[in-house]
């Protein structure tokens, strides 16, 4: 008997929990697992016993590093029959990291999620990483529900946090609830749609008790409910007309319209509570069912047929050809490599063959497992709309498409940010040498923002990543998971080079020896480009990616067509080793506009060398400069240390952009060059008696001031 789907598509919700570091995201996930019955004991972050943070480093540091995928089941709180399976919804949840160094985990997760719960700290409101994650969700067009957490904390304010969402993220956020009390007096919430108050009683707040709204909150609740209804009816003409005629829509109609607008990213509902104190989480899970999309609510996924180059679509249906996206690799000590994938259409059984359309290779799918964090349940078959992990795929990497060979499709790849920091690494002993190579390969396969290269001059191994913590944890993982002892050098900044003005040059490579000679001759024109973030097409003969543009403007065949790719290759190779201090060059447009060739002596290698020489000469004449990564920094500090901290940031070539209140503390926002921020944690602690904290993330590249550039260039020579 063929295995059948155990949950209909409309009862599935694939969503993530995303937040700034320390907003209480993992604590919220633990509550979700507890209330959905996936575990009987609640693990606490501060006790190092959480389910989703299962890596040793995560438990030691109290932060989330890898996105953990968990399957669990939920019946809405207002359903009297909790046992009836037909009332249950299946949740595939991805708990993502909040720390900026692990931004790849958030970005890749966004690609395969249908919705997200964004968790905010009730004291801090919107924080820098909240903004980055929100931007990623906007790019991926992921519908969101907001949860203002930690309302029991000193200095917590629902209104201030809600206002920060409106000011810094989206004007389309709407209050769905009001808190009853605040700080240590926080008792429950008021639902503005149903106009009921809720308290959470019994063991771990499991019993959701509905009651009348306390009299002192009645007028506020009525006022904010009117605002909520206005926001909802704006998106439905029939409801709007009835509402203007004085007829209030039913709760059912309001919910239906709200669901539609949330799925289309027109409204972001805001809920509140305290995960740690077991208040409010169940109502957020009800909202996931009510407002976040099932796979059926989403538009068909689009891709390219690799054979014809045409755009093709796949709908969320078991009847369509199989199509899935691999979004994460993870080394598992027990089963080897796990490949997480999201099925967009069709079904696949364990033991069958898959076609990897990105590489054009076939792979056998050994086993399929569904994960409850680090526990696994083996399944024979997965269906459209599900998330699972495959065991035994050897050549599949992050962002590869897996599909039916007879109906090939390549889905859009996930784009990751470039690393901004690197360090040298060497094995301690001869035995570690070989193991280190294997470990680095596995870790870089898992994490697309972790790059491993070899310095061509010194032959030393370089590792590059998103920050000091990122590299520190990867080196630590090497030691624990692969038993590799290594020495690491000091962190190095990933500088870049670019040009500031237009220039032209010619490159000639002519070599006459006995027999056949070499002849390559090109004329190149360089000009600076505006920095771009994502690759995009500009015109038919020009593609723009990696901050580089190559334009073929040869007329009349003065350089034969077959040598053009060699010219581009020569230019690209020359850009890899810049001319100021040997760093990669970016943001350059190179136009090949003239040249000549020899009937007998011209070859691809001659044109490649000529292009490389011509590019170097042109770049030297185009005002070459060094670029450095500039970080967006936020320091949260008690008021009495504010002067010291602003002074220290100014001394690091920083620019203060603003200062916000955070309860009794102040949040200083600034941009600072990455090179000045090494070891800042220690400095900050000593300046503030250990009471300040900071977060930073990459913002943009900027020209290095001349006197600083001289020091960098001297150090490279």
Query: Per-residue pLDDT tens for 190-230?
Result: 999 999 999 988 877 778 888 999 999 999 999 999 999 99
Rounded Cα gap, residues 284 and 91, in angstroms: 13
Closest alpha carbon to 473 in 63, 7, 31, 3: 63
Percent above pLDDT 70 for the chain: 86
* Residue 348 near residue 326, CB atoms below 8 Å: no
Better-predicted residue by pLDDT, 22 or 284: 284
- pLDDT higher than 90, residue 616: yes
Q: What is the mean pLDDT of residues 118-141?
A: 82
Closest alpha carbon to 19 in 96, 91, 93, 92: 96
pLDDT at 41: 37
At 457, the pLDDT band (50, 70, 90 cuts) reads: low
Of 518-532, 605-619, 643-657, 673-687, the range with the lowest mean pLDDT is 673-687
Q: What is the mean pLDDT of residues 291-315?
A: 87
pLDDT at 85: 63
At 588, the pLDDT band (50, 70, 90 cuts) reads: very high
pLDDT at 375: 62
At 717, the pLDDT band (50, 70, 90 cuts) reads: low
For the CA atoms of 183, 185, 191, 196, the dihedral, rounded to the nearest 10 degrees, stands at: 180
Q: What is the DSSP string of 572-610?
A: HHHHHS-SSSSPPB-SEEEEEEEEE--TTTB-HHHHHHH
Helix (H), strand (E) at residue 523: strand 518-528
Tens of pLDDT, residues 323-352: 998 887 777 666 677 888 889 998 988 888
Q: What is the DSSP string of 253-305?
A: HHHHHHHHHHHTTS-EEEEE-BTTTTBSHHHHHHHHHHHSPPGGGSPPEEEE-
For the CA atoms of 350, 353, 355, 360, the dihedral, rounded to the nearest 10 degrees, stands at: 140
Tens of pLDDT, residues 130-186: 777 887 788 788 999 999 988 888 888 899 999 999 988 889 999 999 999 888 888
User: Structural domains in the chain?
Assistant: 11-297 (3.40.50.300), 306-411 (2.40.30.10), 421-494 (3.30.70.870), 500-623 (3.30.230.10), 627-716 (3.30.70.240)
483-497 burial, b for 16+ CB within 10 Å, e for fewer?
A: ebebeeeebebbbbb
Tens of pLDDT, residues 540-582: 333 444 578 899 998 888 999 999 999 999 999 999 888 998 8
Element counts in the chain: helices (H) and strands (E)? 16, 40
Rounded Cα gap, residues 529 and 547, in angstroms: 8
Q: What is the mean pLDDT of residues 621-635?
A: 90
Q: Which residues contact 38 (CB under 8 A, 6 or more apart)?
A: 51, 70, 72, 73, 372
pLDDT at 4: 65
Rounded Cα gap, residues 578 and 626, in angstroms: 9
Tens of pLDDT, residues 42-90: 334 444 444 433 344 433 333 333 445 677 788 888 776 555 666 788 8
* 45 DSSP assignment: G
Rounded Cα gap, residues 400 and 414, in angstroms: 9
Give the SS3 label for residue 438.
helix
- pLDDT higher than 90, residue 366: no
- pLDDT higher than 90, residue 258: yes
Rounded Cα gap, residues 617 and 464, in angstroms: 30
pLDDT, mean over the chain: 82
Of 43-52, 292-301, 357-366, 646-655, the range with the lowest mean pLDDT is 43-52
pLDDT at 60: 38
Quote helix, strand, coil % in the chain, to nearest 5: 30, 35, 35
Q: Give just the sign of the alpha carbon dihedral 537, 543, 548, 552.
A: negative
Rounded Cα gap, residues 200 and 208, in angstroms: 5
Which tokens go with 566?
């060699």
At 3, the pLDDT band (50, 70, 90 cuts) reads: low
* Residue 74 near residue 88, CB atoms below 8 Å: yes
pLDDT at 25: 67
Rounded Cα gap, residues 366 and 351, in angstroms: 5
Please tell me which of 283-297, 359-373, 377-391, 506-520 the model is most confident about, judged by mean pLDDT: 283-297
Give the SS3 label for residue 64.
coil
Tens of pLDDT, residues 91-101: 888 766 544 44
Rounded Cα gap, residues 94 and 92, in angstroms: 7
Rounded Cα gap, residues 409 and 357, in angstroms: 7
């Amino acid at each position: 008997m063929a295995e059948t789907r155990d949950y209909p598509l409309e009862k599935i919700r694939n969503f993530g929990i995303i937040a700034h570091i320390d907003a209480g995201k993992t604590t919220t996930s633990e509550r979700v697992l507890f209330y959905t019955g996936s575990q009987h004991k609640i693990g606490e972050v501060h006790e190092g016993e959480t389910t989703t943070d299962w890596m040793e480093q995560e438990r030691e540091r109290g932060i989330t590093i890898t996105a953990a995928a968990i399957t669990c089941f939920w019946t809405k709180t207002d359903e009297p029959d909790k046992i009836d399976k037909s009332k249950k919804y299946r949740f595939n949840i991805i708990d993502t990291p909040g720390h900026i160094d692990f931004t790849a985990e958030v970005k890749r997760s966004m690609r395969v999620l249908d919705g997200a719960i964004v968790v905010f700290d009730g004291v801090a409101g919107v924080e820098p990483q909240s903004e980055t994650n929100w931007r990623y969700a906007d790019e991926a067009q992921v519908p969101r529900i907001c949860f203002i957490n930690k309302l029991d904390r000193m200095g917590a304010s629902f209104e201030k946090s809600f206002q920060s969402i409106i000011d810094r993220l989206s004007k389309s956020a709407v209050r769905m609830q009001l808190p009853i009390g605040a700080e240590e007096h926080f008792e429950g919430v008021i639902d503005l749609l149903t106009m009921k108050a809720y308290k959470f009683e019994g063991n771990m707040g499991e019993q959701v008790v509905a009651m009348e709204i306390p009299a002192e909150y009645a007028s506020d609740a009525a006022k904010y409910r009117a605002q909520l209804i206005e926001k909802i009816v704006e998106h439905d003409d029939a409801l709007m007309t009835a509402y203007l005629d004085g007829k209030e829509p039913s709760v059912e109609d309001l919910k239906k319209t709200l669901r539609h607008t949330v799925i289309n990213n027109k409204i972001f509902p805001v809920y509140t509570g305290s995960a740690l104190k077991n208040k409010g989480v169940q109502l957020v899970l009800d909202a996931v069912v009510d407002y976040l999309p099932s796979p059926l609510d989403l538009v068909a996924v689009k891709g390219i047929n690799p054979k014809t180059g045409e755009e093709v679509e796949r709908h969320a249906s078991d009847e369509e050809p199989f199509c899935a996206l691999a979004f994460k690799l993870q080394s598992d000590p027990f089963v080897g490599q796990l490949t997480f994938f999201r099925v967009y259409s069709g079904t696949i059984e364990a033991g069958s063959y898959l076609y990897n359309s990105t590489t054009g290779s076939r792979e056998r799918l050994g086993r399929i497992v569904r994960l409850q964090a680090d526990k696994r349940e083996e399944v024979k078959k997965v269906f459209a709309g599900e998330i699972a992990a495959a065991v035994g795929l050897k050549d599949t990497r992050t962002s590869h498409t897996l599909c039916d060979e007879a109906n090939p499709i390549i889905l859009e790849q996930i784009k990751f940010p470039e690393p901004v920091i690197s360090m040298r690494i060497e094995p301690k002993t001869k035995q570690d040498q070989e193991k280190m190579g294997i470990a680095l390969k596995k870790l870089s396969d898992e994490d697309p923002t972790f790059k491993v290269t070899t310095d061509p001059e010194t032959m030393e191994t370089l590792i590059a990543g998103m920050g000091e913590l990122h590299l520190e944890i990867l080196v630590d993982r090497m030691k624990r998971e692969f038993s590799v002892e290594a020495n690491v050098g000091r962190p190095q900044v990933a500088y870049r080079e670019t040009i500031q003005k237009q220039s032209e040059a010619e490159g000639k490579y002519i070599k006459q020896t006995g027999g056949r000679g070499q002849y390559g001759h090109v004329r190149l024109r360089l000009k600076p480009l505006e920095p771009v973030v994502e690759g995009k097409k500009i015109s038919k003969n020009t593609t723009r990616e990696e901050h580089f543009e190559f334009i073929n403007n040869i007329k009349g065949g003065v350089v034969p067509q077959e040598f053009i790719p060699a010219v581009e290759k020569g230019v690209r190779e020359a850009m890899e080793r810049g001319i100021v201090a040997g760093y990669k060059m970016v943001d350059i447009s190179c136009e090949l506009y003239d040249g000549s060739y020899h009937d007998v002596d011209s070859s691809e290698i001659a044109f490649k060398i000529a292009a490389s020489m011509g590019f170097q000469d042109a770049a030297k004449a185009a005002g070459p400069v060094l670029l450095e990564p500039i970080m967006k920094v936020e320091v949260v500090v008690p008021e009495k240390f504010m002067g010291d901290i602003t002074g220290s940031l100014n001394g690091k070539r920083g620019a203060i952009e603003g200062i916000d209140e955070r309860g009794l503390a102040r949040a200083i926002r600034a941009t600072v060059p990455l090179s000045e921020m090494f070891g800042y944690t220690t400095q900050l602690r000593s300046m503030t008696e250990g009471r300040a904290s900071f977060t930073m993330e990459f913002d943009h590249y900027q020209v290095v001031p001349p006197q600083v550039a001289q020091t960098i260039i001297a150090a490279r020579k």
